[in-house]
Amino acid sequence: MSTPTVVRDLRSFSFGGGVQSMAALVLAAQGRIDYHTFLFANVGDDSENPATLTYVQRYARPYAAAHGIELTTLDRVMVRSGETRTLYGEITREGSKSLKIPVRMSNGAPGTRSCTADYKILVIGRELKRRGATPDHPATVGIGISLDEIHRANRRRSEPHEHIAYPLLELGLRRTDCARIIRDAGLPVPPKSSCWFCPFKRPESWHEQRRSEPELFEKACQLEELLNRRRDELGKDHVYLTRFGKPLRDAIPDGVDTLPFEIDDGDGLCDSGWCMT
Ligand code: SF4
C-alpha cells in the first residue's frame, strides 16, 4: 500500500490561544518550525475564556500579521442552515437536551463529550477539506502538546484527510519553555484557554474564577442549575461542573484561597489536544 503524500501547502497548526499555541506561533515566526497557517477554532465568543479572546485580539493577531503568518478564526457553521453556533448557545438553547460538555456525574467521573469533536476537530477538518485536503493528500495539523503533557499525544482522533504532528514534542519543549519563548519574544504569557464553564477545569481554577470573575462564576452556577432543571424534568440524576458531586456554589465556597496541593485532574482529561493548548 502506498503512503499518502502530505500536501505541504496545507500545513496548519491548530491554534488554541493558550501557552503552547502561542509558543508555536513565535517559533513559526522565528522559522524554527515550518508552519505558516494557524487555525483557531472558536467555540464561541460567549463560550471561550474571555481573557483568551482578548489575548488573541491584542497580541496573537498583530504578532502573526507582523510576521506574515495566517491566523484565521473558524466558527462552527451549520452546513444546511448556514447558521453559526456557539457551544454555550447550543447547550442553553430552549428545549435543548444536549449535554455536549463533559459534565461530571455524582461520583465525579466526567461523562462523554462531543464539544471538542464538534467545535474543534470537525471545524478544522472541514476547513482543511475546503482547502483541498483528501485522504490521499492529507493536510498536516500541528497540535500544541508539550513534553509535560505527552500522555495527551496519540489519543487525538485523526480524520482521514489529516496527518497529526506534535512540533513542540519534536523540539522537546515543556510548558515552562513555551512560556519563556513567548516572554523572550517580548509578549505576555497568555492565560489558559478553555471554555469558562469547562467541567475539566481544576478546582483551583474555579476558585480563581470565583475570586476574579464573579459574574462569570455566577453564570457557570446558573448553567449548572439549568442543566439540572432539565435533568429533573427527564427524571435523571444531577450532573455537576466539578468532581465534588455537589453544586458549584457549594463545591467552590466563597472566600477560600487556592489550595496549592490540588490534584491536577483537569487539563489532562481534555485529551484530544484541541482544547487548552
Ligand atoms: S474546553 Fe472543555 S467544554 Fe470547552 S470544548 Fe474543550 S472539553 Fe469542551
CATH number at residue 59: 3.40.50
Residue 26's domain comprises 7-269
Ligand 1 pocket member 88 (CB < 6 A): no
Kindly report the number of other CB atoms within 10 A of residue 260's CB atom. Answer: 6
Residue 1 domain flag: no
Residue nearest to atom 1 of ligand 1 (CA): 194
Q: What is the total count of domains within the chain?
A: 1
What's the CA-to-centroid distance between 127 and ligand 1, angstroms? 20
Residue 173 lies in a domain: yes
User: Do 72 and 39 contact (CB within 8 A), yes or no?
Assistant: yes
What are the C-alpha distances in Å from 152 to residues 112, 187, 196, 270, 273?
17, 27, 21, 8, 6
Query: Measured in angstroms, how far is the CA atom of residue 250 from the centroid of ligand 1?
Result: 22
Asked whether residue 247 is domain-assigned, the answer is yes
For residue 111, report the phi and psi dihedrals to the nearest 5 degrees: -80, 175
User: Does residue 2 lie in a domain region?
Assistant: no
Mutate to test the pocket of ligand 1, among 40, 74, 195, 267 (most ligand atoms within 8 A of CB): 195
User: The pTM is what?
Assistant: 0.90
Q: Along the 277 residues of the chain, how does pLDDT read in single tens digits?
A: 555 665 556 899 999 999 999 999 999 999 999 999 999 999 999 999 999 999 999 999 999 999 999 999 999 999 899 999 999 999 999 888 778 999 999 999 998 889 999 999 999 999 999 999 999 999 999 999 999 988 878 656 678 899 999 999 999 999 999 999 999 999 999 998 999 999 999 999 999 999 999 999 999 999 999 999 999 999 999 999 999 999 999 999 987 765 544 434 444 444 334 565 5
* Ligand 1 atom, smallest distance to 201 CA: 2
Query: What distance in angstroms lies between residue 72's CA and the mean position of ligand 1's atoms?
Result: 20
Judge whether 27 lies within some domain: yes
